[in-house]
């Protein structure tokens, strides 16, 4: 079979090139099966729900996404629904999310602003009043009531009686109840704004007052016109929304405030509910102190269980687990990498022996703690059992294992990928010494959507190079599909904290596309990147755009060892923080890069939000020199290579103003550049037409300036 070239149009069309790869895998409540979402063969944007019966490993289509009222028309969504989709990066339609009813026989499927309680393969019951739209759906632990937010107020639907009760009545244009604020969802990854107590007797909910946040006006350009949007965006150094945690007793209807932000306690980062208490994780404004506080729901009495302080910042996690005996499992990077600790009821903190770095705590069973992380290389991810002071690695195949445990922590599923394995999914017992059972494998054979491109698939090279401080930088180098003479290289960069690009997995098909067009692709995880621990991230503190650039330049030394690499034809490309890195690298090292593409870049960190920016840079008033040095604009006069700037014209995250500032400065300096803006596109720019057009432009740009030489700017 002759190899075909992978094009942007094919990459973003149906059927998906990754085949029928399961997504969002979950155990059924009773552990007898698995459920997962899968993209439809005829529409890559529509998700269907499937079930696997673990007795015979058979797969069954349970919910066809076409049978649901659809959210495909984004224009029909409320502002709260659109914000929820964008913050969660959820861009599909059909079955986009689902939760099991506690009885294990039914599913809750949010659809078209309402919720459907469905017996798969049978009839469903629509919840919420007809003709209304809601968001923030949450079932109570007994499955008898559904809570949600409409018009900024919290409501509860009685599933058995089919009646609704409104719990709050004070919502306004600037005040909402039961939803996360922008900072919580976008930066803290706290997507919930209300929580049921485990006995179902009360709900804790966030009351968010945005009146303190100054109104900024931004222009959203659609294809057929423009509109001015008033957005209360909390710029670095400015006022945040006021967030308070309230509790409503569902028997008496009484409301009480349990916590509210103030100068010393700025952020409600996490909430974990017990029967009659709540555990709150609270951060100060600079995120240098994290407090775990227990609050009794009935009395409001509060006591601190644990406090951690650092000189830089504390990364949040979802690792807190409340055990039956009252012990709290939590993780911390106070040792330099993330480790697990047990907090006893007496306040004693005990370290649990762990692998080198933990990136997720899954649970505990029979005095064993189960975690994911890595021991030898951050490019791999494995499941470990921690018991009796021993660290046992349960997954063995070299590569990346995404795992999930059932509710009893007695079995796990493993979604595995490696450079030569697209996806394999298996299930295994944690309590019996039996081999894993494979339940799905993507075999790229003659019928597979990726089969026509397999002959041109390029195996990547992995390695490490030392950083200036001796820490190791991981890289992945993907050569061109056909090596004929010397080739240009594209540095595909993100570079920001919390993210990791270099994994020993199948890799991005976007990278393969570049390779099919004759480019090599180099990816380097510089200091500041995620999954390495705080010691690896800390060098970027108060000086974004410094060590990251140094490390990306160090990564270019890898190309010197490749006889096919032309070091005079190196381009750079990135999105969001990667767009920022593209501009900083081109401006600070103009001789190193022959062309660059910056997509939705930050240009001035004072235009970004408080929680993210101040975490790494501190307050602008206390670090004026650092903010100035991290600003792209003062460095642009050095830029002398072709630049393509791209931005969505409805971006509410990295505001379009970041790019208009760049345009104005480049024009003042007399530096020509290419520009492409996308009407109606948000930050992720996930629309199929936008994706195809964007990457066709990027390929054309790099072909002109890297494969046919490049022009110098005077």
Q: What distance lies between CA 707 and its chain's CA centroid?
A: 34
CA distance 596 to 571: 5
- What is the maximum alpha-carbon separation in the chain? 78
Residues sharing a CB contact under 8 Å with residue 148, sequence separation 6 or more, in sequence order: 115, 128, 134, 135, 136, 137, 138, 154, 155, 157, 178
CA distance 598 to 606: 19
CA distance 506 to 519: 18
Residue 306 pairs in a beta bridge with 292
Contact predicate 282/314, CB 8 Å = no
φ, ψ for residue 658, nearest 5 deg? -55, -40
With H, G, I as helix, E, B as strand and everything else as coil, classify residue 662.
Answer: helix
CA distance 349 to 455: 55
H or E element, residue 540: none
CA distance 496 to 527: 9
Residue 166 burial (CB count, 10 A): 11
Catalytic residues: 576, 651, 683
Query: To the nearest 5 percent, what fractions of the chain are helix, strand and coil?
Result: 20, 40, 45
CA distance 513 to 355: 36
Structure tokens at 419: 């450079």
Residue 557 DSSP label: G
Structure tokens at 346: 């007496």
Residue 670 burial (CB count, 10 A): 9
Q: How many helices (H) and strands (E) does the chain have?
A: 12, 44
CA distance 36 to 467: 41
């Amino acid at each position: 079979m002759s190899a075909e070239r992978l094009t942007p149009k094919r990459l973003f069309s149906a059927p998906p090139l990754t085949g029928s790869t399961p997504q969002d895998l979950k155990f059924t409540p009773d552990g007898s099966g698995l459920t997962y979402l899968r993209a439809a063969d005829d529409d890559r944007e529509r998700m269907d729900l499937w079930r696997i019966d673990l007795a015979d490993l058979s797969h069954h289509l349970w919910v066809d996404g076409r049978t649901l009222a659809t959210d495909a028309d984004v224009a029909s969504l409320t502002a709260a629904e659109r914000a929820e989709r964008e913050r969660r990066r959820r861009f599909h339609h059909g079955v986009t999310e689902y939760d099991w009813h506690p009885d294990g026989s039914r599913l809750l499927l949010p659809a078209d602003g309402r919720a459907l309680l469905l017996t798969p393969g049978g009839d469903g019951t629509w919840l919420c009043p007809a003709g209304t739209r809601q968001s923030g759906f949450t079932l109570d632990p007994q499955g008898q009531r559904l809570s949600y937010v409409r018009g900024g107020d919290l409501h509860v639907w009685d599933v058995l009686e089919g009646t609704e009760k409104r719990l709050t009545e004070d919502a306004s244009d600037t005040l909402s109840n039961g939803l996360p604020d922008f900072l919580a969802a976008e930066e803290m990854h706290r997507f919930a704004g209300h929580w049921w107590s485990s006995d179902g007797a009360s709900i804790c909910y966030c009351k968010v007052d945005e009146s303190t946040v100054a109104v900024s006006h931004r222009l959203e350009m659609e294809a057929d016109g423009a509109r001015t949007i008033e957005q209360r965006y909390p710029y670095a150094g400015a006022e945040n929304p006021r967030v308070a945690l309230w509790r409503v007793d569902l028997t008496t209807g009484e409301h009480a405030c349990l916590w509210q932000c103030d100068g010393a306690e700025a952020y409600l980062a996490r909430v974990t509910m017990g029967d009659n208490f709540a555990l709150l994780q609270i951060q100060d404004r600079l995120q240098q102190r994290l407090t775990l506080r227990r609050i009794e729901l009935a009395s409001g009495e509060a006591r601190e269980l644990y406090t951690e302080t650092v000189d830089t910042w504390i990364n949040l996690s979802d690792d807190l687990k409340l055990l039956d005996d009252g012990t709290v499992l939590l993780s911390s990077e106070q040792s330099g990498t993330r480790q697990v600790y047990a907090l006893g009821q007496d306040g004693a903190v005990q370290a649990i022996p762990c692998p080198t770095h933990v990136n997720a705590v899954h649970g505990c069973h029979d005095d064993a703690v189960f975690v994911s992380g890595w021991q030898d290389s951050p490019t791999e991810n494995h499941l470990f059992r921690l018991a009796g002071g021993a660290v046992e690695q349960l997954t063995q195949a070299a590569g990346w294992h995404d795992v999930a445990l059932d509710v009893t922590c007695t079995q796990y599923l493993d979604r595995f990928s490696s450079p030569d394995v697209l996806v394999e999914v298996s299930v295994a017992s944690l309590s019996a010494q039996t081999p894993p059972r494979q339940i799905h494998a993507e075999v790229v054979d003659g019928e597979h959507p990726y089969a026509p491109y397999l002959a041109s698939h390029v195996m990547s090279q992995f390695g490490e190079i030392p950083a200036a401080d001796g820490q190791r930088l991981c890289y992945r180098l993907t050569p061109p599909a056909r090596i004929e003479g010397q080739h240009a290289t594209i540095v595909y960069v993100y570079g920001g904290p919390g993210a990791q690009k270099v994994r020993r997995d199948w890799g991005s098909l976007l990278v393969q596309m570049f390779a099919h067009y004759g480019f090599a692709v180099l990816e380097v995880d510089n200091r500041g990147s995620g999954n390495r621990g705080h010691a690896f991230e800390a060098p970027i503190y108060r000086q974004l755009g410094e060590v990251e650039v140094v490390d990306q330049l160090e990564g270019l030394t890898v190309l010197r060892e490749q006889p096919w690499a032309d070091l005079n034809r190196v381009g750079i490309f990135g999105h969001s923080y990667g767009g920022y890195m593209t501009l900083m690298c081109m401006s600070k090292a103009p001789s190193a890069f022959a062309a660059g593409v910056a997509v939705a870049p930050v240009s001035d960190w004072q235009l970004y939000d408080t929680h993210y920016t101040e975490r790494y840079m501190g307050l602008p008033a206390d670090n004026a020199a650092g903010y100035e040095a991290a600003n792209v604009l003062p460095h642009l006069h050095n830029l002398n290579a072709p630049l393509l700037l791209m931005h969505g014209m409805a971006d509410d995250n990295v505001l379009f103003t970041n790019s208009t500032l760049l345009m104005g400065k480049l024009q003042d300096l007399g530096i020509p550049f290419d520009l492409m803006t996308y009407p109606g596109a948000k930050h992720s720019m996930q629309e199929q037409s936008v994706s195809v057009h964007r990457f066709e432009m990027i390929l054309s740009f790099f072909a002109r300036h890297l494969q046919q030489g490049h022009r110098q700017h005077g």
